[in-house]
């Protein structure tokens, strides 16, 4: 096994069965101890040019140097640990903003407070492959967004930078 550590450790009578992904640039030449995201088992690995030179060897009782960025359980409904879950995965240090949701983000308002067409659901009149061109009648199509927008204007949250 290499480039992933598929942890088969039995913990509490259950097989851990978690795939810890060793991302290629960080681990291409790397030596140290890595902890499993699910059960915390520590493995020693020595990787040279992407090949496991030694390991993964279990090191019970020792502390991990590093955690994987991402781990999932393909045999258990693909439940996963996204990057940056404390004690499980290490954070990805170059994120575009502090709240990284890890899933598609569709927002109603831009950071200037102006409505953007990112929310859902779309009205049925949008149809298949529908596009409202350059004119987007928020008031008619999404009355609740329009109402929210009016509130924002009143509160002075809409600005031009």
Partner 1 sequence: MAKEKRDIEINSRADTLPLMGPEVRPWPVTPPPTPEWVMDNVYAKRKAQEFGKFLEDNLRLDFVFDKPEALQGLRVMCNGIWQISRMFAASLLGEQGAEVVHIEPPGGDPLRQLTPFGREEYMLMDNVAGEPCGLDFLHEFRNAKSITLNLETEDGRAIYKKMATVFDVIIEAWPPGYMDSVGLGYRHLSKLNPRLIYCWVGERGQWGPMKDEVSKHGQWILDPFSAAADSWIHNTGFPQDQCPRGKGGDPMRSGAWLPSYVCGEQAAVNIQAALYWRDGVSGEGQFIEVTAAEALMDILDFDIGWYGFNRSIKARTGAWDPNLNQYEWNPCKDGYMMIGGQTDRLWYRIGMCIERELPEFGRLIHEDPLLKEMGARNSLQGLIKTYSITTKWLRDINRIEAEQKLMEYEIAAGPVLYIDEVAEFPHFKYRPWVNTIETQFYGTVMYSESCAAFQHRTPARVKDIGRPLGHDNGEVYQKFLGIGPLKLRELKAKGVI
Partner 2 sequence: MDEKELQKLKVCDIEDLPGPKSKEELEEMKMPFEEYCRKAFDPGNEFLKPEALKGIRWMSTTMYIFTPHSVANLAELGAECIKVEMPRMGDPMRQTSPFNEAYLYPLHDTRPMTGTGYGFLNANVNEYYITLDYHVPESKRVFYDLVKQSDGLTECYRHGTFDRWKQGYRYLMEMNPRFIYVWGGGFGYGPKMFGGSYDILGQAHAGLASITGTHKDMGGHATKCTNWCIDWYSGTQITCAIMAALNYRLKTGLGTMIEFSQVQAATRMCGYTAPLYGRFGIVRQRWGNWDTQLCVHGIIMTGKSDFPDRPNPQEKFEARYVMLSAFQDADFKDLCDIIRSRTSSAAIRPTRRGSAGRPRWKSIKPSRPGPRTRPAPKW
Residues forming the site for partner 1 (CB under 8 A): 2-4, 19, 21-26, 28, 49-51, 69-70, 72, 74, 78, 80, 82-83, 90, 92-97, 100, 102-105, 107, 110-112, 116, 118
Residue 2 contact among partner 1, partner 2, none, beta carbon within 5 to 8 Å by kind: partner 1
Neighbours of 159 (CB within 10 A): 10
Q: Applying CB under 8 A, does 96 fall inside the site for partner 2?
A: yes
β-strand pairing of 10-11 with 51-58: unpaired
| Three-class SS of 16-31 | CCEEEECCHHHHCCEE
Residue 153 contact among partner 1, partner 2, none, beta carbon within 5 to 8 Å by kind: none
Q: Using CA atoms, how far apart are residues 5 and 99, in angstroms rounded to an integer?
A: 28
Q: Using CA atoms, how far apart are residues 136 and 25, in angstroms rounded to an integer?
A: 45
Which residues here bind partner 2, judged by CB under 8 A? 25, 93-98, 101, 103-107, 116-122, 126, 128-131
């Amino acid at each position: 096994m290499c480039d992933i550590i598929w942890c088969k450790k039995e913990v509490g009578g259950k097989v851990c069965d978690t795939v810890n992904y060793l991302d290629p640039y960080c681990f291409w030449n790397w030596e140290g101890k890595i902890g499993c995201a699910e059960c915390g088992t520590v493995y020693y690995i020595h990787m040279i040019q992407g090949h496991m030179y030694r390991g993964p060897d279990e090191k019970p009782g020792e502390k991990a140097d590093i955690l994987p960025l991402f781990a999932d359980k393909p045999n258990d409904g693909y439940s996963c640990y996204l990057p940056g879950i404390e004690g499980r995965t290490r954070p990805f240090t170059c994120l575009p903003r502090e709240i990284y949701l890890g899933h598609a983000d569709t927002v109603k308002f831009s950071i200037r407070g102006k409505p953007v067409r990112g929310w859902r659901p779309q009205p049925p009149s949008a149809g298949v492959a529908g596009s409202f061109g350059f004119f987007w009648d928020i008031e008619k199509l999404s009355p609740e967004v329009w109402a929210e927008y009016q509130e924002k204007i009143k509160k002075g949250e809409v600005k031009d930078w």
